[in-house]
Copies of this chain bind each other. A is one copy, B any other.
Amino acid sequence: MALVVQKYGGTSVGDVPCIDRVARRIARRHERGDQLVVVVSAMSGVTDSLLRLARQVHPDPMGRELDLLLATGEQTTTALLAMALHAKKTRAVPLTGAQAGIVTDGSHTRARILNIGPKKIHRFLDEGAVVVVAGFQGQDLQGSITTLGRGGSDLTAIALAAVLKADLCEIYTDVDGVYTADPRMVPNAAKLDEISYDEMLEMAASGSKVMQSRSVEFAKKFRVVFEVRSSFSDAQGTIVKAETKSMEDVVVRGISLERNQAKLTIPAVPDHPGVAAKIFSSIADHGVSVDMIVQNVSDRGLTDITFTVNRDSLSRALRIIEPAAQELRAAPPRAQEGVAKLSVVGIGMRSHSGVAARLFQALADAGVNVQMISTSEIKISVVIDEQSAEKAVRTVHEAFGLAGAALPEAKKAG
């Protein structure tokens, strides 16, 4: 008998037939004797329509009342799934986040989990019920309903798995695992059997949309092994876990691509201590997130600083750095849209050399110009023209022999 935490995302519970299918899957599993805690998201589209409704009564809805409103989305799915389970003669107890004992800080719409009191869940599990928990929500110490922000339901599931010491944590979504590259772009992309937390984090940070970094970080911190898999099939998914020795045999685990990027350059910045701090703290103060930052060696006391932001933030970022550049007596900033970030990720990079060279050669062969380069211990990212991005991903995927990376015999070919 295993204790399993499952999480079903918005598309997996998107309508009544979907909820019914999920209920059937849970009922079968429950009959096999497993103890199940099931975390659900709002039905797809519900959170957006609640937000639209909120914006009709307040231009900028926030705080306590927005969370109270948004929490109804997951509460609804929780109730419906419990009913669907009852219709299949499977005992189920629905719980809101607060009832499940999820205590958060008071930062509405992006609360952090402080602590989970699992007593109630344990009691219902012991009584033989499936426990259905509303994801994405909790309660602060004053008893006010909070929500956890983007990816919040994944976080609920992983946090519950940690606290309950679950044997398994299964994240059901609309893709059947983590791939070496986006299969819509690279038809021969391979599904990965396993991936390390760090690789998953780098994939998430560089455009792979499977999961938010935050949940992966939480899983890494509390050593929660989880599986990303599809609620629409019975296929094995991808196990995300701490790295093992054998993982290092694969140099590159996968390729990710982030589109809709923009590049900003401040040329001829005086190369003094504190200059970069000045620029980037003013950007951060305005809530714009910066992704890659590159600064090259200085030339006669002046250097160029280039960074990327999401295209949507470009005009705001420009408005912020223009006065800053003036104040620093740098040249006027230059902006460029239509760029994308391609990243190759793999913990094997640490022990294998020549990865960067192979990447650049592949891009050169495909005639793709590299505009920026940034590296971390297990990732190399390049900024390239968005128009050649798909071709670049396919070429690089090929160059690292990833099409067969998920097959055992090909693992050593990396």
Which residues of chain A have a CB within 8 Å of any CB of chain B? 16, 19-20, 23, 50, 53-54, 56-59, 61, 64-66, 68-69, 71-72, 75-76, 78-84, 86-87, 92-94, 96, 99, 120, 143-145
Is A54's CB under 8 angstroms from B80's CB? yes
Which residues of chain B are within 8 angstroms of A120 by Cβ–Cβ distance?
143
Is A64's CB under 8 angstroms from B94's CB? yes
A69-B76, A94-B64 are contacts. A83–B57 as well, Cβ < 8 Å?
Answer: yes
The residue of chain B having its C-beta at the shortest distance from the C-beta of A132 within the complex is: B65
Shortest distance from the beta carbon of A157 to any chain B beta carbon, whole Å: 19
What would 18 A/B residue contacts be, using CB atoms closer than 8 Å? A23-B57, A53-B76, A54-B80, A54-B83, A57-B87, A64-B82, A64-B93, A65-B82, A65-B86, A65-B94, A66-B83, A68-B82, A69-B80, A72-B72, A72-B75, A72-B76, A99-B143, A120-B143
User: Apart from A23-B57, A65-B79, A72-B76, what 10 extra A-B contacts exist at CB < 8 Å?
Assistant: A16-B53, A20-B57, A53-B80, A58-B84, A64-B82, A65-B92, A68-B75, A69-B76, A69-B79, A72-B79
With beta carbons under 8 angstroms apart, the residue of B58, B68, B83, B87 that contacts A78 is B68
Give Cα distance in the complex from A86 to B59, angstroms. Answer: 10
With beta carbons under 8 angstroms apart, the residue of B16, B64, B68, B145 that contacts A56 is B16
The residue of chain B having its C-beta at the shortest distance from the C-beta of A84 within the complex is: B57
The residue of chain B having its C-beta at the shortest distance from the C-beta of A43 within the complex is: B53
Give Cα distance in the complex from A243 to B72, angstroms. Answer: 43
Is B78's CB under 8 angstroms from A94's CB? no
Which residues of chain B are within 8 angstroms of A65 by Cβ–Cβ distance?
78-80, 82-83, 86, 92, 94
Give Cα distance in the complex from A92 to B69, angstroms. Answer: 14
Shortest distance from the beta carbon of A137 to any chain B beta carbon, whole Å: 12
The residue of chain B having its C-beta at the shortest distance from the C-beta of A99 within the complex is: B143
Give Cα distance in the complex from A26 to B66, angstroms. Answer: 20
Shortest distance from the beta carbon of A22 to any chain B beta carbon, whole Å: 11
Which residues of chain B are within 8 angstroms of A84 by Cβ–Cβ distance?
57-58
Which of A64, A80, A83 gathers most chain B CB within 10 Å? A83
Shortest distance from the beta carbon of A126 to any chain B beta carbon, whole Å: 15
A64-B93, A72-B76 are contacts. A99–B57 as well, Cβ < 8 Å?
Answer: no
Which residues of chain B are within 8 angstroms of A78 by Cβ–Cβ distance?
65, 68
Give Cα distance in the complex from A235 to B317, angstroms. Answer: 54
Please provide the 7 A-B residue pairs with the shortest distance between their CB atoms, ordered closest to farther.
A69-B79, A72-B72, A65-B82, A58-B83, A68-B79, A57-B84, A58-B87
